[in-house]
Structure 1
Amino acid sequence: MAWMILIAAGLCEVIMVTFMKLSDGYKKFVPSILSFSAGALSFYLLSLSLLHIPVSTGYGIWTGIGSAGAVLIGMLFFKEEKNPSRLFFIGLIIFSIIGLKTVS
């Protein structure tokens, strides 16, 4: 169950960053509130997962999900550049997340 909570925390991190982008520098009220709420939920879920997962592994996976997810959202919805080297390095992050999970 701790791993599912950690994945949910990472997804909340992606949601937070997405609404951060949509908030236009926190000038728009609703996306700003959604960004802060998703961020708070992300930290809370991370703290719950770290009760059962080593902090080094949990934090690494959480930041990896957030980083990879933010880049993918940027490419899919915000027309950010999609080139082979970006996709390769996102693949490395995802591969590293899987590696951290398997050694824990």
Structure 2
Amino acid sequence: MAWVSLILAGLCEMFGVAMINKLHKDRNWQSLTLLFIGFGASFLFLAYAMQTLPMGTAYAIWTGIGASGGAIIGMLLYGESKDWRRIVFIAMVLCAAVGLKLVS
């Protein structure tokens, strides 16, 4: 269950990052509320996962999902560059997080 919680934490982190961008564009209370809900849920799921998983592994995977997911959301929804090199580096971030789990 800790791994499911950690993945949910990463997905909520991605949502929170997307809401930062939305808040920057819209400047309304709904975007701000969704931003707090996204990051709040992310921290709650992360805290639950860290009751079982080692801190270093949990944090690395959480940030990997959040950073990679944020970059992918930017490419898909906000017109950011889809250059193949960006995709390679996103894959490297995800591989590093998986590699950390494998050696832990």
Q: TM class, shorter-chain normalised?
A: over 0.9
After TM superposition, the score normalised by the length of structure 2 is 0.94
Unpaired segments ≥5 residues, structure 2: none
Q: Deviations over 1:36-78 (max 9, x none)?
A: 1110110011001000000011001000000000000000000
Aligned length: 104
Give 1:80's aligned residue. 80
Moved more, 42-51 or 92-101: 92-101
After TM superposition, the score normalised by the length of structure 1 is 0.94
Unpaired segments ≥5 residues, structure 1: none
Give 1:18's aligned residue. 18
Letter in 2 for 1:92: M
Q: Provide the C-alpha distance between the structure 2 equivalents of 1:25 and 1:37, rounded to a whole number of angstroms.
A: 18
Q: Provide the C-alpha distance between the structure 2 equivalents of 1:26 and 1:65, rounded to a whole number of angstroms.
A: 25
1:99 Cα deviation after fit: 1.5
Give 1:35's aligned residue. 35
Q: Give 3-state SS (helix, strand or coil) of 2:24's partner.
A: coil
> Kindly, what percent of the aligned residue pairs are identical?
38
Give 1:4's aligned residue. 4
User: RMSD in angstroms over aligned alpha carbons?
Assistant: 1.3
Give 1:98's aligned residue. 98
Letter in 1 for 2:100: L
Give 1:44's aligned residue. 44
Q: Provide the C-alpha distance between the structure 2 equivalents of 1:11 and 1:101, rounded to a whole number of angstroms.
A: 18
Q: Provide the C-alpha distance between the structure 1 equivalents of 2:47 and 2:97, rounded to a whole number of angstroms.
A: 18
Give 1:65's aligned residue. 65
